[in-house]
């Protein structure tokens, strides 16, 4: 079973915000003639790389809830211009809605075991077509 990563999505207020940023970035790369590849840079390099790349995803916490995930394509450690080791988490530029799962704030990223990861939203069930705020309210009430 694949191991996952969970991380706070800083700067995005909604799944739609995150998707808009991804789309904008992909358009910028295409306009510059560069490969359309989304990478998120982080300071810590995962030591369990092989487990993560065996089908793992990055689960994003938005407004206190895991709401969406992105499949991980690659993990690329590098040194920045100051000689500090960093890591690019290369992601598929598509978002997959998940059932909402509350998460307290934390710094950096954490491993997320497969059995602890929220299930994907499938089809028209589960409120996938509901506005995000309503989904969050229903999740808080335990109805979604």
Token pair belonging to 16: 């739609």
**Residue 138 pLDDT class (50, 70, 90 cuts):** low
pLDDT of residue 1: 76
Distance CA 118, CA 59 (A): 9
pLDDT of residue 143: 59
Distance CA 35, CA 104 (A): 35
Q: Regarding predicted confidence, which is higher, 35 or 132?
A: 35
* Domain count within the chain: 1
% of the chain exceeding 70 in pLDDT: 85
Between the CA of residue 76 and those of 48, 54, 108, what are the distances in Å?
13, 15, 17
pLDDT of residue 127: 56
Give yes or no for a contact between 144 and 138, defined as CB atoms under 8 angstroms apart.
yes
Give yes or no for a contact between 60 and 66, defined as CB atoms under 8 angstroms apart.
yes
DSSP annotation of 53 reads T
Query: CA neighbours within 13 Å on the CB side: how many for 50?
Result: 0
Query: Which residue in 111, 107, 52, 55 sits closest to 76, CA to CA?
Result: 52
pLDDT of residue 141: 62
Whether the predicted pLDDT of 124 surpasses 50: no
pLDDT of residue 77: 96
Query: Which residue in 76, 62, 83, 75 sits closest to 11, CA to CA?
Result: 62
Residue span of the structural domain in which 25 resides: 4-140
Return the residue matching tokens 């694949």: 2
Whether the predicted pLDDT of 126 surpasses 60: no
Mean pLDDT of 29-41: 93
Distance CA 101, CA 139 (A): 8
For 64-107, write each residue's pLDDT tens digit. Answer: 999 999 999 999 999 999 999 999 999 999 999 999 999 999 99
Q: What is the pTM of this model?
A: 0.84
């Amino acid at each position: 079973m694949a191991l996952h990563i969970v991380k706070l999505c800083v700067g995005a207020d909604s799944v739609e915000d995150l998707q808009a940023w991804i789309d904008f970035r992909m358009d910028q790369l295409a306009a510059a003639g560069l490969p359309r590849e989304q990478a998120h840079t982080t300071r810590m390099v995962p030591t369990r790389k092989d487990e993560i790349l065996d089908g793992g995803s990055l689960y994003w916490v938005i407004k206190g809830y895991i709401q969406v995930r992105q499949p991980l394509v690659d993990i690329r450690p590098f040194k920045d211009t100051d000689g500090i080791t960093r890591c690019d988490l290369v992601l598929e530029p598509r978002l997959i809605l998940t059932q909402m799962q509350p998460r307290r704030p934390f710094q950096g990223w954490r491993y997320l075991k497969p059995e602890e990861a929220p299930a994907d939203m499938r089809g028209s069930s589960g409120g996938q077509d509901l506005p995000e705020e309503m989904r969050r309210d229903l999740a808080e009430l335990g109805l979604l």
